[in-house]
């Protein structure tokens, strides 16, 4: 199936690693241009160079996305390079363990700044360009918004807000034919996941107990499986899909995990 993404300019936040990297690679494999925005210049350039070596088109932009000025810069540099924006993948985030008991008001607000504010800020600054192209947005959320996890209030609040904003933005953007959708991962092996599991007392045991509870095939979701759904939603093949929250999680969130 031709997804119709040739020469489409799509910003992917956190597009150098993990899920974002898989999304960047798939966009470029489909003929699109991935603009990778993230905090590490070295990580961004490594992925961009690999994409270019494979015959794709990509651009690296260093940005600490919790800062409003950096979000503005991402949009300005993208437009300076390509003159348009066709899509935005809000993906960057981190499960930063700011709990109700173990956190603080300051750490809670900082978590919202790092996990939520840039989803809004980038969408806001990209809007004039998305209106011009009838572009669209895919957010990457988390099952934690539906299930809770414990000891991660800031991250859970951010992901819950992202689900709410998916519906809110989809309604507001109807007059412009800008579609907004969200993809929800549950358990995906990425650098973030590895860091999180290794922060727990018995990481190997914990990992085995988690994968045993994933209904479909008792395995983690791959980053490529998240990318497949995301890029399909970005593409004109999804032209009448908006306001949807799509769970790509092997049934983790909704199926009865006690049955097996």
The C-alpha atoms of residue 51 and residue 21 are separated, in whole angstroms, by 10
Phi, psi of 224 (to 5 degrees): -65, -35
Among 126, 192, 227, 233, which residue interacts with ligand NAP (rule: CB under 6 A)? Answer: 192
Closest CA to 170 of 79, 238, 103, 237: 238
Among 10, 11, 12, 16, which residue interacts with ligand NAP (rule: CB under 6 A)? Answer: 16
Does 190 engage in binding with ligand NAP (CB under 6 A)? yes
Integer CA distances (angstroms), 175 to 16, 89, 181, in order: 33, 21, 16
Closest CA to 65 of 83, 85, 45, 91: 91
The C-alpha atoms of residue 104 and residue 159 are separated, in whole angstroms, by 19
Shortest separation between residue 222's beta carbon and ligand NAP, angstroms: 10
Among 187, 225, 242, 247, which residue interacts with ligand NAP (rule: CB under 6 A)? Answer: 187
Structure tokens at 260: 């097996």
Q: Which residue out of 119, 129, 155, 247 is catalytically annotated?
A: 155
Among 185, 214, 227, 231, which residue interacts with ligand NAP (rule: CB under 6 A)? Answer: 185
Shortest separation between residue 12's beta carbon and ligand NAP, angstroms: 9
- Which range of residues in 11-19, 172-180, 209-217, 232-240 is near ligand NAP by CB under 6 A? 11-19
Shortest separation between residue 18's beta carbon and ligand NAP, angstroms: 2
For the question of residue 155 being annotated catalytic, the response is yes
According to CB under 6 A, which residues from 220 to 249 bind ligand NAP?
A: none
According to CB under 6 A, which residues from 96 to 125 bind ligand NAP?
A: 114
- Three-class secondary structure of residue 185 per DSSP: coil
Task: Yes or no: say if 167 and 161 are a contact pair by the CB < 8 Å rule.
Answer: no
Among 188, 214, 234, 246, which residue interacts with ligand NAP (rule: CB under 6 A)? Answer: 188
Shortest separation between residue 188's beta carbon and ligand NAP, angstroms: 4
According to CB under 6 A, which residues from 62 to 101 bind ligand NAP?
A: 63-66, 91-94
The 87-90 sheet, strands edge to edge:
57-62, 33-38, 9-13, 87-90, 136-140, 179-184, 244-247
Beta-carbon contacts of 173 under 8 Å, excluding residues fewer than 6 positions away, are 179, 180, 242
Number of residues forming the site for ligand NAP (CB under 6 A): 29
The C-alpha atoms of residue 218 and residue 221 are separated, in whole angstroms, by 10
Residues that bind ligand NAP (CB under 6 A): 14, 16-20, 38-40, 43, 63-66, 91-94, 114, 140, 142, 185-188, 190-193
Residues marked active site are found at 155
């Amino acid at each position: 199936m031709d997804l119709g993404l040739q020469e489409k300019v799509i910003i992917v936040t956190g597009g150098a690693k993990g899920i974002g990297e898989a999304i960047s690679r798939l966009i470029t494999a489909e003929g699109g241009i991935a603009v990778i925005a993230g905090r590490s210049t070295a990580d961004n350039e490594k992925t961009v160079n690999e994409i270019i070596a494979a015959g794709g088109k990509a651009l690296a932009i260093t940005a600490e996305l919790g800062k409003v000025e950096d979000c503005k810069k991402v949009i300005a540099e993208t437009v300076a390079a390509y003159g348009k924006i066709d899509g935005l993948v809000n993906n960057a985030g981190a499960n930063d363990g700011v709990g109700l008991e173990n956190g603080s008001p300051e750490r809670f607000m900082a978590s919202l700044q790092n996990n939520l504010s840039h989803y809004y800020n980038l969408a806001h600054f990209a809007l004039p360009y998305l209106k011009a192209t009838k572009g669209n947005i895919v957010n990457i959320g988390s099952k934690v918004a539906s299930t809770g996890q414990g000891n991660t209030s800031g991250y859970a609040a951010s992901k819950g807000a992202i689900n709410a904003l998916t519906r809110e933005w989809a309604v507001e953007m109807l007059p412009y034919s800008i579609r907004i959708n969200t993809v929800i991962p549950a358990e995906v092996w990425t650098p973030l996941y590895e860091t999180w599991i290794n922060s727990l007392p018995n990481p190997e045991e914990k990992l085995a107990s988690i994968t045993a509870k994933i209904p479909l095939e008792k395995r983690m979701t791959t980053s490529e499986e998240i990318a497949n759904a995301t890029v399909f939603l970005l593409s004109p093949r999804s032209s009448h899909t908006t306001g949807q929250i799509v769970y790509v999680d092997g049934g983790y969130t909704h199926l009865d995990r006690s049955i097996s």
